[in-house]
Amino acid sequence: MPHHSKVSQEPSISVVINTYNRASTIGATLNSFRFLNYSNFEVIVVNGPSTDGTDQVLEGFRGQIRVERCPETNLSMSRNIGIRAAAGDIVVFIDDDGIPEPEWLSRLAPAYESAEVGGAGGFVFNHTGVAWQGQYMTSDRFGHSESSATLPQSHQSAAPGAEFFPSLIGVNSSFRRKALFEIGGFDEFFIYFLDETDVCLRLFDRGYKVVVVPEAYVHHKGAPSVVRNYFMFGRSLTYFAFVSNPRLTPDQIMPRVQHGLDRFRAMISQAHQHKLINDEQKQAMLGQLETGHQQALAHLGSGQPRMFMDSSVVPAESEKFKKFPTLKTRPGQMVICLLSVQFPPGPVGGIGRWTYEMAQGLSALGHDVHVITRTQEPASVNFEDGVWVHRLPPSQTDAPAPIQVPPWIWAWAHAAHQEVKRIGGHHRVDIVVAPLYDLEGLACVLDPELKTVTTLQTTFKTMTESHPEWQHDANFWNGVVLPMIAGERFILSCSKQILSISSAISETVRAGYDLDIPSERIELVPIGIRDQTPSFPSRATSGGVQVLFVGRLEPRKGVDVLLACVPALLERHANLRFVLAGDEAYRLPGGLTYREDFLKRHTNAPWLERVVFAGHVDDQSLYQHYADCDIFVAPSRFESFGIILIEAMMFAKPVVACRSGGMQEIVRVGQTGLLAEPGDASSLEAALDQLICDEPKRRRFGSAGRELFLAEYTRSVMASRLEQWFKRLSGKDAAEPDLRAELLML
């Protein structure tokens, strides 16, 4: 029996993962622990007879975790091994396909301040990350469990011996270690299913409380399992019903067992009716269920004692406990939401790439980062590379827009805002970052409860200068372009915090919208990116010169200016080659793409094979193009920043850009590259010709560009600058950059 007194000391926690052939998922689970905001915990992995490379995954965490072995694929046996190895006051179980939210342990731990509590768990999201797998769980003594969104009366009033009792889901369950030793841990007859329910019941009958902490969230991704089958369901259900009802006779128990088995039979029949399984599979599943049932009856009839853990020896806690290293080592951690319609791994433009770099950089500094992006699939939330990614499908809304904008624009802004508010129901959101482009922050910027930062990119108003054809379509001009321009002006006038990636875009926005935006409202933080060079060595052969262009093949990117230079340069330089990588959707007035038009006009040119239109490429191919080129060219008429330039400089490539926008702030003329006049083909040709003819200058410019990249444009530099500003905005205490986190970002 527990002693009813209050525990004053914060408990130490042993997190136990029981695994078998889950090499594909356990690494993500272990990595997620780095982001927990509770420091006093250790991690123990009990590996079954895995054959899929799980050992190699665990080797990557050597020195951070303890690894134990389980000789059988028996979950209860594995859990008992974990309990006996645990050195913490509390033993917490999570599956090898579970991902906890950052506050998981810090919200579970206070439940144990009362010595009456023997077990505690939290709510569990299913594989979508949006819908619930389990909330308040209530079980009966015959193996049936139900989940409810509100606290059931039985959780508050049930006494030992009651038919209904509070229970937990294994993927998010914890127990007082002392109490587990009192009851003998898990019954190893339960290979799978109802194992933790049996523990909850025995604790409950012993006088302990089992409580649910709703906000201690775990996401259960539900990977396939070899032991999740109807044989185990029939076996465990039958056994559980008999051992949990010692006061009832077998004749009283058996009808309830059959009722439970009938529920499984109904599930099988329903799957068959919906053609999810065929006749043969149906019969096999029904046979498995019956075989498991009969095996349990045979075991019960043998008179064998229950298969509890050997509790005779308790290991010394202090000698074994090894704290797991986390990133939450500094004060002032924040919850930051980043909005971006585009986000990897799908096709992304500059905003999507920048958002990814911000997310990764801030996450590595220990902040909880949520990215809200769009998908064509059902809504989902996943923890990806240290970042919570919320993918929302296109939607409609009846909520009135604050200003007339295209309905799909407002629908996304409204949906993103609703998701930010939902996140805020779980965690206090400190900062929201939303691009001006596509008016993504239109709803968030008007919410006084949110501190929303508007980021500046090339505006619709600026783009009209390179898209005169827009005015020829009255419906598009009046229904999209003009409302978008008005929407941008509206957001800028409402924004109290503005993030600029260059001085040029700040001045362009001020002038273009005739807005007197105070300088103190604008923070300048150039874009930074992760250094990709170690993964992409150059494959270039000596003797040739390759010029690379990256970007959409459209007028704003100046591809027309570049293509006007190409023939003369190729005719002069037999060793020259051009590669153009980017989306080719834009069409000229005649209906042709730039590629189609160029190939048509130069069909018989002898140099044509030295011009490669690569189309849209994935990140791996893009970085390899950078590594392989000798000169990078960005002939854009305007770039708010020019992330392509720092990507090229990262690979130590000399750059040729235009004297426009943010490009002027990146390129050090005569040191890292050259600037041509925007829209001027002869100026661009001369700049390219200079570098084509001068290999020493190319090497010198490339080396200087690489040094500039490392000093000013890495992900860690950007993240540190953003962190300092966001902390000022949110009122968090400033802290020095965590050098360990910076190393993780490089």
Which CATH number fits the domain that encloses residue 451?
3.40.50.2000
Q: How far, in Å, CA of 592 to CA of 563, rounded?
A: 15
Q: Report the DSSP pairing between strands 117-125 and 173-176.
A: antiparallel
Is 577 found in the same domain as 504? no
Phi/psi for 617 (5° steps) reads: -125, 155
Torsion of CA 35, 40, 46, 51, to 10 degrees: 30
Provide the pLDDT for residue 154. Answer: 79
Q: Which of 162, 193, 228 is the last residue of a domain?
A: 228
* CB-based contact 194:181 (threshold 8 Å): no
Is 553 found in the same domain as 493? no
* CB-based contact 678:658 (threshold 8 Å): yes
Q: How far, in Å, CA of 672 to CA of 659, rounded?
A: 14
Q: Which of 204, 228, 252 is the last residue of a domain?
A: 228
- Is residue 71 one of the residues assigned to a domain? yes
DSSP readout, 722-738? HHHHHHHHHTPPP----
- Is residue 234 one of the residues assigned to a domain? no
Query: In a 3-state reduction of DSSP, which class is residue 278?
Result: coil
User: CB-based contacts of 136: which residues, under 8 Å, 6+ apart?
Assistant: 147, 148, 149, 150, 151, 152, 155, 166, 212, 214
pLDDT for 660-710, tens place per residue?
999 999 999 999 999 999 999 999 999 999 999 999 999 999 999 999 999
- Is residue 194 one of the residues assigned to a domain? yes
Is 562 found in the same domain as 629? yes
- Is residue 329 one of the residues assigned to a domain? no
pTM of the model: 0.89
Is 213 found in the same domain as 91? yes
- Is residue 729 one of the residues assigned to a domain? no
Structure tokens belonging to residue 469:
């054809």
- Is residue 632 one of the residues assigned to a domain? yes
* Dihedral over Cα of 212, 216, 222, 225: its sign: negative
User: CB-based contacts of 596: which residues, under 8 Å, 6+ apart?
Assistant: none
DSSP H stretches of helix in 165-229 = 177-183, 195-205
Neighbour tally for 236: CB within 10 Å: 25
Is 607 found in the same domain as 508? no
> Residue 257 burial (CB < 10 Å; 0-12/13-18/19+)?
buried
Torsion of CA 646, 651, 656, 662, to 10 degrees: 0
Q: How far, in Å, CA of 497 to CA of 524, rounded?
A: 11
Angle at 727 between CA 721 and CA 728, to 5 degrees: 95
Is 553 found in the same domain as 516? no
- What is the total count of domains within the chain? 3
Q: Which of 180, 210, 228 is the last residue of a domain?
A: 228
> Residue 262 burial (CB < 10 Å; 0-12/13-18/19+)?
exposed
For 28, the domain range is 13-228
Is 614 found in the same domain as 508? no
* CB-based contact 454:441 (threshold 8 Å): yes
- Is residue 659 one of the residues assigned to a domain? yes
Q: How far, in Å, CA of 440 to CA of 406, rounded?
A: 12
Neighbour tally for 676: CB within 10 Å: 25
Is 474 found in the same domain as 342? yes
Is 674 found in the same domain as 619? yes
Structure tokens belonging to residue 519:
């300088």
**Closest listed residue to residue 316, CA positions, set 88, 73, 639, 58:** 88
Is 563 found in the same domain as 607? yes
Q: How far, in Å, CA of 405 to CA of 271, rounded?
A: 46
> Residue 27 burial (CB < 10 Å; 0-12/13-18/19+)?
middle
Structure tokens belonging to residue 616:
């849209």
Is 636 found in the same domain as 557? yes
CATH number of domain containing 153: 3.90.550.10
Is 558 found in the same domain as 468? no
Q: How far, in Å, CA of 473 to CA of 470, rounded?
A: 6
- Is residue 233 one of the residues assigned to a domain? no
**Closest listed residue to residue 723, CA positions, set 251, 468, 367, 325:** 367
Provide the pLDDT for residue 6. Answer: 41
What residues of the chain score a pLDDT lower than 50?
Answer: 1-8, 735-746
Structure tokens belonging to residue 394:
């296109």
